Every structure is written in C-alpha cells, then in structure tokens.
Amino acid sequence: MSEDVQDQPADGQTEQPDDSVSVVHKARRGPMLVTVAVVVAAIVVLYFLYDVFIGSRSVSTDNAYVAGEVAEVTPLTSGRVVEVMVTDTQPVRRGQILFRIDDSDQRIVLAQAKASMEYARRRYGQSLANDTALGAAADASETQIGAAQAKVASAEATLAKARTDYERRAALADSGAVSGEELTAAREALASAKAAANEAQAGLASARSNAISARRQEEAALALTRGTSVDTAPEVLLAKSRLATAELDLKRTIVRAPIDGVVAKRTIQVGQKVENGKPALAIVPVSQLYVDANFKEDQLGKVRSGQKAELTSDFYGDDVVFHGKVVGFAGGTGAAFSLIPAQNATGNWIKVVQRLPVRIELDPEELKAHPLRIGLSMEAKIDLTSKD
C-alpha cells in the first residue's frame, strides 16, 4: 500500500501521457494509409472484374427443391378392396397391378348388358320380319282395290239395267199394259240397285283408304330399319355401348400403375370400400423429376429458357453434379400465390425482394444413376452465356 501511495504524484493529479508516444510513428502513418488505400482499391477492382467477367456470367441460389408430376391413383369404380399388392416406397412399373376391387357387382351388370345386347339383336330381327309382313299387307290391300272396282262395275251395270226396266215399265203404265205391282217391283229393284251401287263405291273408297294406311304403316316400320344392319341399328348400338361400359367397369376393378415410379401416400387397406374418384395412393416418377429454383427477381434479367444449369444436392454433396436446362418460369412469385397474399397497399409497406420459381429439367440418365426424391434441397447455378 505504501508503495502505491508513493508512486502517485504529490499534488494528487494523474500523469498525462506523453504526446510523443504513439502506436504508429508519425513518419510511418503516410505510407501505411497509402498501402491501405491501395489494398482497398485492389479489392474493389478485383470485385469489379469478378462481377464483369465471372459473376455476371451466371446466377445461383440455394433456394431450390426437387419436384415432380406426382400421379394420383384413383379407382374409377366403387367396391371393396380384396387385395393390395404394393406398399409405400416400393418401385413399380407402368401396367403393374397395384390393388384389386371386388368385381361381383360389375360381373352382374356385365351379364345384364350381354342379355340386353342379345335382346336388341332379336328385336332388330323382329323389326325386319314386321317390315316384310307390313309390306305383304299393303300389297294385299292394294289387290282389294281391284275387287272393289269390279263390284262397283257390277253394281253400276245392275243399276243401269234396273233403271232401264223401270223407265220402260213407267212409260207403259198409263196405257195399262203394265200392272201397278210390276211397276212397283221395278221401282224397288231400281232403288235396290242404287243402294248396291253406293255400297260398292263406299267399298272401293274403303279399299283405297286401307291400302294407303297399310303402305304408310310399312313406310313407318321401314324408317326404323332403312339403311341399317343388325350391327348398325340404333338399339343395337345402344346395347353395345352399355356392354362396353360394363366391360370397362369390370376391367377397372384391377387397378394398375399409370407410370413408372415409387409408391407413396398409400391410404387403402384390404376390406376397405373405395369410392369412384377418391385417391388411393400416389406414384412419384423418380426418373422424371425436375427442380424448382426460386431466384431473386433481380437475378432473372438475363435468364432465358434453354440455358444450361448445374445443380448439386445436399443428399449427395458436391461430389455429384447434376446437369439440366431452364424450361420455363412460374406465372407469379411465391408471395402472389400464397394462401394469404401480402397487402402492399397498406401504410406499413416494406419492400421485400421477391423470388420467382424457375423450372430446371434434369438429365434422365443422371437421375437414373443418382436418384432423387421430391422435396430434397438443391443448389442451382444457371450459365447465362449458354444458349438452347
């Protein structure tokens, strides 16, 4: 303690540092500032050169993810699942059976459709036979016209004779050569002949009307079969379409893979009743994946479709480089299609750099050698100097 007190100045004031003592000697400050300025200038020049000759030749982002056109497998007929042949993560080939639906109802409908088809064919044959019968009936009706005309001629001849007999007797009645009874009989014969002639005329008109009606019925029946055959008749074609629908529904009880890929999101179990159009599982086409790279809007000024790209995945690391090309741009930014879009018209607006998804198509051979999965992170770099 005594030594510390002795070291302090007697007047109680602290010692002031000597201005001549400095970390950097005044003589060396100038050259050092010049050196710093030169280094800063060199850094600026190097950055400028990098931006002009290297940085401006490409754009990159780590906001990129693997995507693909996932195939949703939906049954096209309803029924109970009786067998499931696949599970999640299982690779499948196009046309491979995925699951089966109980086809009892579909087989019954198919049997009914087959019976309706046979019935339609028989009905068509019946229509043809009916056409023939109506044609024969129309021909017979026309022959009746000739018989009616003969009756008319006979009745007219009888009427002419009865009229002559009556006129001759009426002329002799005043002379007393013809009795009253004979004149009355002649008058009655004339009236009867007139009635018979009128009846014959009515019969002729009826025969003609019947012939016309029979011919019209024949034409109406022929209208249903004219220009057709047993395979092109409307009722047969309708039965064929119903039969084809029934056969298709039966075929759809066996659900097959629409594409090559890996099974995902399987939601069906044996015994479960599935409905028409309800998704049962999904298939990811691992050989046809692409990358959606979300570039900043100020990076896209020189990006064009067809430009080449290099991509790396966190899954494989930097040792595996994927090659692809730009195939298109999204129709809007992610913010524009978000569930709750930003309300930029409010007074609290702050500008945020937007990102636009750019689709990059991957090389199928590289995907085959190094498979990817949907949702994996990627780093994408687009060569702005390349052309399609």
| 110 CB neighbour count, 10 Å cutoff | 19
pTM of the predicted structure, to 2 decimals: 0.63
| 139 CB neighbour count, 10 Å cutoff | 13
**Is residue 70 classed exposed, middle or buried when 0-12, 13-18 and 19+ CB atoms within 10 A define those classes?**
middle
| In the predicted structure, residue 2 carries a pLDDT above the cut 60 | no
What stretch of H or E contains 235?
Answer: helix 234-251
| 300 CB neighbour count, 10 Å cutoff | 15
Contact (CB, 8 A) for 66 and 376: yes
Please tell me the predicted confidence (pLDDT) of residue 151: 86
Distance separating alpha carbons of residues 254 and 99, to the nearest angstrom: 6
Identity of the residue numbered 224: L
Domains of the chain, residue spans = 61-69+284-383, 73-103+251-281, 106-247
For helices 180-225 and 104-172, the axis angle rounded to 10 degrees is 160
Residue 78 in tokens? 């309803």
Contact (CB, 8 A) for 69 and 285: yes
Give me the mean pLDDT over the 192-212 stretch: 85
Backbone angles phi, psi at 275, to 5 degrees: -105, 155
Reported residue count of the chain is 388
Query: Looking at the domain 106-247, which fold is it?
Result: Helix Hairpins (1.10.287)
Backbone angles phi, psi at 370, to 5 degrees: -135, 85
The per-residue pLDDT for range 209-259, each reduced to its tens digit, is 888 888 888 777 777 778 888 888 888 999 999 999 999 999 999 999 999
The rounded mean pLDDT for the chain is 84
| pLDDT band, very low/low/confident/very high, at 25 (cuts 50, 70, 90) | low
Q: Is 2.40.30.170 the CATH number for 61-69+284-383?
A: yes
CA distances from 379 to 76, 311, 384 (A): 40, 5, 16
Contact (CB, 8 A) for 322 and 310: yes
Q: Distance from CA of residue 178 to its chain's centroid? A: 102
* In the chain, beta strands by DSSP E: 58-67, 71-73, 79-84, 91-92, 97-101, 254-256, 261-264, 273-274, 281-284, 290-296, 308-313, 317-329, 355-362, 377-383
| pLDDT band, very low/low/confident/very high, at 53 (cuts 50, 70, 90) | low
Query: Looking at the domain 73-103+251-281, which fold is it?
Result: OB fold (Dihydrolipoamide Acetyltransferase, E2P) (2.40.50)
- Quick one: which of 365, 363, 341, 371 has its CA closest to 354? 341
| In the predicted structure, residue 38 carries a pLDDT above the cut 50 | yes
In sequence order, what are the residues at sequence separation of 6 or more whose Cβ sits closer than 8 angstroms to the Cβ of residue 304? 326, 387, 388
Distance separating alpha carbons of residues 293 and 117, to the nearest angstrom: 57
CA distances from 367 to 74, 288, 321, 382 (A): 27, 8, 11, 19
Give me the mean pLDDT over the 124-141 stretch: 82
